[in-house]
A and B are shown apart, each in its own frame.
Chain A
Amino acid sequence: MKPGFITQLRTLLTADSLLTAPEDTRPFESDGLSAYRRTPDVVALPENEAQVAAVLRLCHAHKIPVVARGAGTGLSAGALPVDGAVLLVLSRLNRIVNLDPLVRTATVQCGVRNLAISEAAAVHGLYYAPDPSSQIACSIGGNVAENSGGVHCLKYGLTVHNILKLRAWTVDGQSLEIGSDTLDSAGYDLLALMTGSEGMLAVITEVTVKLLPRPERAQVVLAAFDDVAKAGAAVGNIIAAGVIPAGLEMMDRLAIRAAEDFVHAGYPLDCEALLLCEVDGVNEEVSDDIRIVRDVLVSSGATEIRTAESEEQRLKFWAGRKAAFPAVGRLAPDYYCMDGTIPRGQLPHVLKRIAEMSAEYGLAVANVFHAGDGNLHPLILFDANQPGELHKAEEFGGKILELCVEVGGTITGEHGVGLEKIKQMCAQFATPELARFHDVKAVFDPGKLLNPGKAVPELYRCAEWGAMHVRGGRLPHPELPRF
C-alpha cells in the first residue's frame, strides 16, 4: 500500500480512527472463525457515515479493496482481512437513531448490537425477533450482511423477514436508500438481494428493523428419545399437528452429555436424542399448544417428557442447549462448527452418514440441530496441535456440507460462505448460477473491490479444486480445462 494513500486516508479520519501498526491491527486479524487469520494492513474506524463514504471514495480512486467488518463475530471468515485492503470497521456507528413504538420500527446504525435493539424496545413491550447465538455481541450491520437467524427462525423468520430499509454505500461512495418505511417499495427487491450479500455489494450503515410485541408467555417441553430417527420424526409430527413452535432444538448423545457435564441442566442421560420444543404466544394458545405437543411427543415414542412449569425451569432447560458449543469445546482442544441445512426428513440418513465419516476420519462429532428449520450444526472435535488434524477436520467438514447438498439442502443455513465454504459453493451451484452471481456482483462492484475473494468462487477455482457439481448428468464447467 502506497504511503501517499495512507497519508490521504489519515486526512479523512480522526487520529485514533486509523490503525496501521501491527500491534494495533492484530486484534482484527480474524472474525469468530479464528482458524483463518491475517493481520490487516490498515484498519479504518470511521465515526460517521460521511467518513465511511469518504474512505470508500478514496479507496475506489486508488483501486484499494475494502473489507467491511462489524463486531467480528461471524463464523465463516467473511470479515477476514485481505491482502492490500483497508479493513473498514463499523463498530463506532453505534447509535439508535429512532425507535417508533406505534409503528413498531427501530432505525439504528449498523454497529448497534442485536440485543441492544431488543433492550431499547423492551420498555414498549416490543423486541427484535432474530436472535443469533452471538446476539449479545454481534451488530445489526453484520446480521444483515449474513442474513442471520437464531433459534426462533421457523416462526419469526430470518433477518431478511425482519427489516424494512437500509442505507448502504456503493463501492464508489454513493448512498443508496433501499426499501422504505412501509411494507414494500417500488422496483426490484434489492432489500432481499442486499441481505446475506456478505459485504460484497455495498457497505451498510443504517438499518430500519421491524419490532414485534413480546409474546405474553413462552413455555418449553423437553423430550428424550432412544433413537435419533424417532426424535426427527417427532419434529415433523409436531408441525403436521398444526403447531409452529417458537423454537425446536435437537441434541445428540455426545452434545447432551457435554452440556449436562458443563451446566447441569438436569438432562436425562440415558437417551440418544433430546428435543426442546418451545411454544409462545397468547396465554391460552400456549396452554393449548403445549397439550398438543405433549400428545404428539408421546405418540412419537418419547421415553421421557418434562414440561417447564416455571420461568426458572424454562431457562434451565435452555441453559444446556445454549451452552452446547462451549460445553462441546471442553471435550477437545478445538472444534469446528458446520452449518448445513437439510430437509428435515433426511435427518436420520445424514446423521448416520456423519457417524460413518466420523469413524473414517477418527474425529468425534457432536450434533446440535435447529430441528424446526433443518439447520444442522455438527461440531467436529480435533486438536490443532496434532499435525494434520485441522486439515482433516476441514476436509471432514467439507464432506458433511457436500452431503447436505446431496440430500437437497445447502452448505450454509446461517453462518454464510465467507472464505470458509467457498469451495463447497462449487458443489452447491453449477456454472450458470455462479456466473449470475458474478453478474450481480459486477452490477454493484465491477472492479471487485468489496471483500474480494469471498462468498462466490471464481469459476476457474472450482475446476482447480475439483469440487464438482453434477446435475442431471450434466458435467459442470465444461468450458474449463482440467488437469
Chain B
Amino acid sequence: MHTELIDRIRAAHAAATQLVIQGGGSKLFYGNVAQGEILDTRSLNGVVDYQPKELVLTARAGTPLADVEALLAERNQMLAFEPPHFGCPRPNPPPQAGEGANAELKPVYATLGGCVATGLSGPRRPYTGSVRDYVLGVRMIDGTGETLSFGGQVMKNVAGYDVSRLMVGALGTLGLITEVSLKVLPKPAAELSLQFEMAEASAITTMNRWAGQPLPLSATSWHAELLTVRLSGAASAVAAARAKLGGAELHDAAAFWQRLREQTTPFFDKRPLWRLAVKSATGPLQLGDAQWIEWGGAVRWLASDLPAAALREGAHGCGGHATLFRGSAPPPQPSPRTGEGTNVMPTAINDGVFAPLAPALMTLHKNLKMRFDPKGIFNRGRLYPDF
C-alpha cells in the first residue's frame, strides 16, 4: 500500500496534479478548501511499536486515534495533549456483503495522522503541552515521492533541524505523514473538577493566578458565569488542592470535559465559529457575543458575524491571532473513496481561515513549501490560498 501511495504521489508530481490528503475525514471542516484527487491514508493502519516503559508509541498515520488511545489506556497511559477527535470514536465495522454502495458512507473518525497534521490539542494543553510538544519523530513522503524520516523514538534529539515538529499543524501542505512517534504519559491517578460562580474578568484573573501556583491544574473553562477547573494527579494532591480552592465538585466532570474537547455542546453549533488565541490574562473581549474561554484564558471561542479583519486585529492586539474555526457553510462530507473522484467541498470560506502572515514570514512559508513540495501537489490552498 505504501508503494501505491508513493506511485500516486510520483505520478501527481510528474503531471503536476493536485492531491487532497484524507484520513477518517473528521477534520475536513478545518482550514481552507483544497481541491484535488483524494489521497486516502486509511491503508496506513496500525501501531508499529509501543514501549510503555520508554513512554514512546509509534503508529502509522491512518491508525484511528481511538485505537491509539485504547491501547495506551490498557497500560494506564494517555496522549497528554488530549486531542479532539471531532468524529465518531471508531470507524464502522467493515461493510457486510450485500450492503452495496451505502457501505462507502462511513461516519467520520479521527486518525493519528490528521491529529498531527492539524496540530489540534484539547483542554489539557496549557498545562501539559500540545501535539507538537509530544511528537518525537515522523516518517513522511514529500511532494516528489521521496520517503523521509526525521526525529526518532527518543526524548532528546538535537541532530538536524526539527522537521518532525514542522509537520505538526502544516495541514499536509509539506508532505504526507506516514508514521508518527509520540511521547506518552501515565494517566493521573486521580481527577476531579470544581465549579465556581464567577464573572468573566475575575475568572480570567483567577485562572492565571492559580496557574502560577503549585496546583495540579489540568484544564480550565469559563462560560455563562461559571468557572470550571480540573485537578489531576496523585489522590492526595488532588484532595489537598480541592480543600485549598473550595468551590463545588462537578459530578459528571468527565462528560463535561469530553463535550468541551469535542465541541458537542450547543454553544459550538453556531456559525461562523471563531477561535481567538490571546495572551492568557487578556481581559474580557468586548465583542458583543457570548464566549467560551478555555486554556487558562488563552483561547476565547465565539460565534460572531463581525468582519474577519476586526476580529483578527483584535486578537493580534492581544498578542495572538484569530482563526475561523468553523465557517458558515455546512462542513464538507467525506467523499467516496474510489480514489479517482474529486473532493467536493463548498467554497464558502473565502476570507481565509488563518490569520495572514507578515510578508517576511509568508516568504519563508512559500519557500519551505517549494522545497518540500515543488509542484504544489499536496493540499493546495488548505493553509493559505497561495500554496
Contacts and interface: CB of A to CB of B under 8 A. Distances in A.
A103 B162 contact: no
Interface in B202-248: 205, 208-209, 211-216, 233-237, 239-241
A440 interface: yes
Contacts of A442: 371
Interface string B67-78: 000000001100
Given A100-B281, A103-B208, A440-B368, A432 B148 contact: yes
B156 A188 contact: no
Contacts of A200: 161
Contacts, number: 273
Contact of A242 (B76, B125, B239): B76
B212 A409 contact: no
A284 B216 CA distance: 11
A61 B149 CA distance: 36
A303 interface: no
Given A176-B360, A432-B147, A412 B54 contact: no
Given A153-B156, A282-B240, A192 B132 contact: yes
Interface residues of B, number: 88
Interface string A22-58: 0000000000000000000000000000000000000
Contacts of B215: 213, 282
B204 to A, nearest CB: 10
A409 B152 contact: yes
Contact of B212 (A125, A244, A281, A411): A125
B150 to A, nearest CB: 6
Interface string B11-55: 000000000000000000000000000000000000000011111
B27 to A, nearest CB: 16
Contact of B156 (A181, A197, A413, A441): A413
B60 interface: no
Nearest to B168: A189
A284 B237 contact: yes
Contact of A437 (B51, B53, B160, B360): B160
Contacts of B142: 436
Interface in B135-161: 142, 146-150, 152-161
Interface in A193-246: 193, 195-197, 200-201, 211, 213-216, 236-237, 239-240, 242-244
Interface string B316-356: 00111101000000000000000000000000000000111
Given A125-B213, A436-B163, A184 B155 contact: no
A244 B319 CA distance: 33
B385 to A, nearest CB: 13
A414 B155 CA distance: 10
Nearest to B312: A186
Contact of A187 (B209, B279, B361): B361
Contacts of A72: none
Nearest to A370: B156
Contacts of B133: 157, 160-161
A188 B366 CA distance: 10
User: Which of A170, A215, A239 counts the most chain B CB atoms within 10 A?
Assistant: A239
A411 B159 CA distance: 7
Interface stretch (A259-267, A341-349, A381-389): A341-349
B116 to A, nearest CB: 11
B152 A170 contact: no
B101 interface: no
B365 A188 contact: yes
B367 interface: yes
A467 B221 CA distance: 54
Given A189-B169, A410-B157, A182 B358 contact: no
A187 B368 CA distance: 12
A282 B355 contact: no
B54 A344 contact: yes
A436 B159 contact: no
A193 B162 contact: yes
B154 A374 contact: yes
A54 to B, nearest CB: 17
B166 A216 contact: no
B129 interface: yes
Contact of A281 (B129, B132, B146, B233): B233
A364 to B, nearest CB: 25
Contacts of A190: 166, 361, 364
B214 A213 contact: yes
A158 interface: yes
B357 interface: yes
Contacts of A236: 53-54
Interface string B159-199: 11111011011100010000000000111010000000000
Nearest to A193: B166
A373 B165 CA distance: 19
A110 interface: no
Contacts of A196: 158, 161-162
Nearest to B352: A186
B357 A186 contact: yes
B162 A417 contact: no
A137 interface: no
A37 B371 CA distance: 35
Contact of A244 (B165, B186, B367): B186
Given A215-B214, A242-B187, A432-B146, A439 B156 contact: no
B367 A443 contact: yes
A287 B236 contact: yes
A183 B130 contact: yes
A284 B132 contact: no
Contacts of B277: 180, 182-185
A369 B22 CA distance: 42
A370 B277 CA distance: 36
Contact of B234 (A178, A284, A375): A284
Contact of A341 (B150, B156, B166): B156
A192 B130 CA distance: 12
A154 interface: yes
A425 B150 CA distance: 12
Contacts of B154: 341-343, 373-374, 408-410, 413
30 contacts: A102-B208, A126-B212, A147-B162, A149-B156, A160-B165, A174-B360, A180-B320, A180-B321, A182-B278, A183-B295, A184-B119, A187-B361, A188-B368, A190-B364, A192-B165, A193-B163, A195-B162, A213-B212, A240-B75, A242-B187, A284-B237, A345-B51, A370-B156, A372-B155, A408-B154, A409-B152, A410-B158, A413-B157, A417-B159, A433-B160
Top-8 shortest CB links A-B: A181-B319, A284-B236, A236-B53, A192-B165, A285-B237, A413-B156, A439-B371, A182-B320
